[in-house]
Amino acid sequence: MRKLLLFAARVAVSVGLFYLALRWIDFAAVQSQWRHINPLWIAVAIAVTIFQIFIGAPRWREISDLCHAPLGTLKAFRYNMIGSFFNLTLPSSIGGDAVRLWLVNRTGAGWRAATYSILIDRAVGLIALALITVASLPWSYAIISDSHGRLGLIFLNFVALVLGVGFLLLGHLHWAWLSSWWAIKHLHACSVIANQAIFSKSSGLKIAVLSLTIHVLTVVIAWCCARAIGAPGDFEQLLMLTPPVILITMMPISIAGWGVREAAMMVAFDYAGLAKTHGAVVSILFGGVYFIAGALGGLIWIFSAERQSSHIEIVDAPKDCSPSTR
């Protein structure tokens, strides 16, 4: 009952935010843009989205190896595609991550190793996104003339940077209670492994390049959606505007980011001197592209061996992924 109420609340948030985002939109202009959508650009956006999901596989594989939950690249890609399907119905990426966790556990890695690999993968992606938004702040500040928009962008960057740096610094603390207090010992262990992944000579550069590529591809997808409706925003503008929007969308308060993304994209477009209508349509197309990619992931799930069989594949790997074993 509690889960049902929570789901209903998030649906209500999505609908409410969607309504607030679109209430001032000129729907005649939106209807005109929908009639002239270029399907070729949408097809390109879908292809880029699938490639983006594939690029995420080797990063997750590198992190999983450190957690003693080894995954092949193709298996990680397949799990990511399945996860994208379950992201369609639950807040942010929670649904997809829960399914990925279950799938990794079925390989015999164990719940702890599976959980750590996914939490760290998400944390590394969030840290990379925060660094991108901070690095692009001077250029973002230049294209946003509204003082409230500038203050909001600075605040968002500050919060993201503090959370990212704080998470990494936690792994460098060696206080005894950090490894014994249940409420924080797992977060501390994840931080230690995340530091190993990011600053390792063998995996650090690879993870950094993959993370940067993933976020740049997000901008490419948004740019393709803009091109599909002939919106005037160029790639450089979207490179400045899209990462903060994605950062806001990651808040798990709506279903698959719907409503939050539209409101944030409209505000970003408005602050940059672009039409709110274009921001709304680009955001809806952006969500639609990920919906189609998720639907393809649903097909993979329907025909997957994991769904068809209860067989658990055991891998020869230690089940303790605590930092002390490294």
Mean pLDDT of the chain: 82
Q: Which amino acid is at 317?
A: A
Helix axes 111-135, 39-66, angle to 10 degrees: 120
For the whole model, what pTM was predicted? Answer: 0.82
pLDDT of residue 38: 92
- Examine the pLDDT at 325 and tell me if it is beyond 70: no
Per-residue pLDDT at 16: 61
pLDDT band at 310 (very low <50, low <70, confident <90, very high): very low
For residue 216, with 0-12 CB atoms within 10 Å meaning exposed, 13-18 middle and 19 or more buried, which class applies?
Answer: middle
The pLDDT tens digits of the residues spanning 179-232 come to: 788 778 999 999 999 999 999 988 899 999 999 999 999 999 999 999 999 888
Burial of residue 93 (number of CB atoms within 10 Å: 0-12, 13-18, 19+): buried
Tell me which residue of 2, 47, 56 sits closest to 215, measured CA to CA: 56
pLDDT tens-digit profile of 76-125?
Answer: 999 999 999 988 766 555 778 888 999 999 888 899 999 999 999 999 99
Q: What is the DSSP letter of 108?
A: I
How far is residue 229 CA from its own chain's centroid? 25
For 252-262, what is the mean pLDDT? 72
Residue partners of 189: CB distance under 8 A and separation at least 6: 116, 179, 321, 322, 323
| C-alpha to C-alpha distance for 238 and 224, rounded to whole angstroms | 10
Concatenating the DSSP letter of every residue in 159-190 gives: HHHHHHHHHHHHTT---GGGGT-HHHHHHHHH
d(CA 247, CA 224): 20
- Residue 313: predicted pLDDT: 44
Q: What is the pLDDT of residue 316?
A: 41
Backbone angles phi, psi at 91, to 5 degrees: -60, 135
Lowest mean pLDDT among 5-19, 147-161, 259-273: 5-19
